[in-house]
Amino acid sequence: RGRGSTPGSFFSTSDHAASTWTTTWDRIDGRRVLPSVARNKTRKASSTRPWDLFPSHTSVRSRSIQPSPRIPTTRTKIERKKKKRRGWNARRRRRRRGAMNVGGFRNVRWNACRNRSNENEGGRKGVGRAWAKLYPNSQAYERGTLDVGDGHRIYYEQHGNRSGKPALVVHGGPGAGCYAKHAQFFDPGHYRIVLVDQRGCGQSTPRGQLVENTTSHLVQDMKRLQDHLDIQSWVLFGGSWGVTLSLAFACAYPERTEAMVLRGICLMRPVEIDWTFGGGASVLRPKAWSGFLQHLEVKEREDPLRSYHKRLLSEDSQVRDAATKAWQSWEMSLFITPRDLTQVWDGEKWEFQSTQQKGGKEEKGPSSSQPSKPEPEKKNAETPQPAIEGKADPNMPSSVAQAMLTAHYSVNHAFLDPNYLLDNVDRFRHIPTVMVHGLYDLVCPMRTAYDLHKRWPEAELRIVSGGHSMYDPAVQAELVRSLDQIRDRKPIRPAPMH
């Protein structure tokens, strides 16, 4: 029946083509449906369609979807721009709902993360892509210790999927230890995540033991743990000092290493150690370096690293604690990126003011080198016992143990030849590897990442706008993305850097 005609009467095709008809179109899932009077947007029909001659009195939603032929129309430049803009907005809306390109990598991560909390630790509120967030915290399904000989027992945990892809977190420091939050970089439904504290740190015993504690010992500990857990090969996830140890393991056991994700490239070469503890980084942090030297005597300032190493091994616990505090203040000054804090002189003291907003108010914090108020002395129930080389202290604070181990490995250049890892790249060249390095990383200079990638162009080097911390938003996003890339078995074939 024709529109406006009495029931039973029909329009001829010639009459319909000759007359001017305004037809309203509805869209369901991007397809045109039968005409409806209930819509406001109209479109002129340029040809006769059989279903236009028989409108239905039922609801538009109940009508069957009909295919529509292409309608040749002449559009102006403004109309084409409007249509293009409408398409962009529609794609944005579908992407926000997670309904666009579901098979793609980006949207798979979006769908996996869209139900997570917006308050992302280590990330900016409301900034960044959805896959930048960490995975939810998971409980360890196994905890234990392993006797690795020489009087050492290392502590380990397992998270995630028991039958998933094995992955080992190689922590930095040396002596920083592993934390449960490290497992949140992995997809717990796919990875079997192994956390381990290296010799002398964390929950491994004895704490602070430096005897029989070298890079080769730590590599053998990783191999023993791999055999103990019945793992044939695993993914290595290392950062800073963990990069050196991961590469050393891959060099010794390339057949037991499936892939690597490395953050903050460090090879523990003399030039890198001199940058951190020899005055190289002082050109960027002169005030912090001045405080680092003021803790030493005038004669000791000629070689700050060995002077601090001697103080950290002192039998006097007060000397050790004071050296540890000055040591950590210098290290933490290198962790701060230029965009995080602004240093302001108020006429009496230096004060750090945060440039990040939280809750609509600017965060302010006192300077780490000169606090606004003196810190109260901590009274411990158990007084730390003297620690000398070859003897460990079960009551030693973890911060002291970390400073001791860092100085121990730095003084001895990680017990490796200066270019050992660079000269043996061919042993692990075939292993798929992603290297993530922060542009503002002051702990590990960019030169190290460039030198390694120049020898190893098969690895993928990703330079991000971040610092040294693995929880920096840009660094965190790339680490999660790299691990998901390995999870999805996507090839890593970067172009060589020239």
- Cite the active site residues: 240, 441, 468
Alpha helices, DSSP H, located in 434-472 = 446-455
Helix (H) or strand (E) holding 462, with range, is strand 460-464
Q: From CA 208, how far away is CA 216, in angstroms rounded? A: 18
Spatial CB neighbours of 362, under 8 Å, sequence gap ≥ 6: 353, 354, 355
What's the alpha-carbon Rg for the chain, to the nearest Å? 32
- Counting Cα atoms < 13 Å in the Cβ hemisphere of 82 gives 5
Mark 52-79 as b/e (b = at least 16 C-beta within 10 Å): bbebeeeebeebeeeeeeeeeeeeeeee
User: Considering only CA atoms, which of 172, 52, 182 is closest in space to residue 444?
Assistant: 172
d(CA 264, CA 436): 6
* Angstrom distance (rounded) from CA 128 to CA 132: 7
For tokens 């579901």, name the residue. 102
**Helix, coil or strand: residue 424:** coil
What is the rounded CA–CA span in Å between residue 2 and residue 441? Answer: 74
* Measured distance CA(387)–CA(368) in Å, rounded: 27
Amino acid occupying residue 200: G
DSSP reduced 3-state for 43: strand
The DSSP output letter for 205 is B
CB atoms within 10 A of CB 325: 14
187/472 Cα distance (integer angstroms):
19
Q: Please answer whether residues 132 and 476 qualify as being in contact, where contact means their C-beta atoms are separated by less than 8 angstroms.
A: yes
Total residues found in the chain within this entry: 498
Residue 382 has a CB neighbour count (10 Å cut-off) of 7
CA distance 406 to 237: 20
Contact, 123 vs 113, CB < 8 A? no
Encoded tokens for 3: 């529109």
Q: Measure Cα distances from 122 to 65, 128, 156 in Å.
A: 49, 12, 25
Maximum Cα interatomic distance, the chain, rounded to a whole number of Å: 111
